[in-house]
Amino acid sequence: MEDVSQGGPSPLPGIRTVSISDIGPVLRAGLADFLRAPAFGIFFATFYVAGGIVLWQVYSAAGEEWWLMPFIVGFPILAPFAAVGLYEVSRRIEAGQVLEWPKVLGVVFSQKDRQIPSMAMVILLMFMFWVFVAHTIFALFMGLSALTNISSSPAILFQGNGPIMLLVGTIVGAGFAAVLFSITVAGLPLLLEREVDFVTAMIVSVRAVTANVVPMAVWGITIAVILFVGMLPMFLGVFVALPVLGHATWHMYRKLLGDED
């Protein structure tokens, strides 16, 4: 890891070529890191699971369960930021450093004075914009009357313009997810490891993704599917899915970016 306490920008890593065959090994490496330090994984995943449960309870109490859908779709988008602590755990395992709570949490807490909060703001703004766009798409296709009836008659989603609305919403949502995935998949780990500004980190991440379009597309779909399956049993599966994917993302970052040997 670069010594980021010295000030000044760190040299940028080179972009490497990866393949679909790399996905299996990084997932296995992520699982190995989780099994090596499960307490850290469960600790960081708890915040993610708690947020999902709170959102569900709030909307259920208001009788607006179906309006939770944009948030559920957005959760996989927010997962990379929730996994920043896991990147540090994997980095320490990789470097052979001792896994101590004060040191791991100290590194995570110190990010507030670096560039990750700026990246978090970008993620949050795009997430909230997606929620707005999702609501707008629904209103345009379904009308205001459906807005008041959907919680009591969810079957309305599959009647009239419902299927077209779901199709358009899925396509637009996938576009949002692809953009956020592209700027964070290597951008967040890069910000943790090196002293670079968040705009540079996003540009490097996008370049790494565009240089490896097919394997990165498969990797993004893999992340979304695993997280979605993990969210089904009241978000409880995320206690395993998020840590494994968080650790695996660090290993994918290592394959994507690195200094020349």
Residue 1 is assigned to a structural domain of this protein = no
Interatomic CA distance for residues 133 and 123, integer angstroms: 15
- Spell out the long-range contacts of 162-167 with Cβ–Cβ below 8 A and sequence spacing 24 or more: 165/137, 165/138, 165/140, 165/141
Residue 225 is assigned to a structural domain of this protein = yes
Instruction: State which residues form the domain around 216.
Output: 19-251
Q: Which residue has the higher pLDDT, 106 or 182?
A: 182
Beta-strand pair 14-15/257-258: antiparallel
Residue 200 exposed, middle or buried by CB count within 10 Å (0-12, 13-18, 19+) = middle
Q: Are 45 and 235 contacting, i.e. CB atoms less than 8 angstroms apart?
A: no
Per-residue pLDDT of 125-135, as tens digits, reads 888 788 789 88
Q: Are 173 and 134 contacting, i.e. CB atoms less than 8 angstroms apart?
A: yes
**Locate tokens 């313009």: which residue?**
161
Residue 13 is assigned to a structural domain of this protein = no
pTM of the predicted model, to two decimals? 0.84
Per-residue pLDDT of 104-147, as tens digits, reads 988 888 888 888 888 888 887 888 788 789 888 888 887 765 55
Residue 103 is assigned to a structural domain of this protein = yes
Interatomic CA distance for residues 119 and 162, integer angstroms: 35
Q: Which residue has the higher pLDDT, 68 or 48?
A: 48
- Please tell me whether residue 107 adopts helix, strand or coil conformation: helix
Residue 85 is assigned to a structural domain of this protein = yes
Domain count of the chain?
Answer: 1
Residue 8 is assigned to a structural domain of this protein = no
Residue 9 is assigned to a structural domain of this protein = no
Residue 3 is assigned to a structural domain of this protein = no
Q: For 257, which DSSP code?
A: E
Per-residue pLDDT of 60-83, as tens digits, reads 655 555 555 565 555 545 555 667
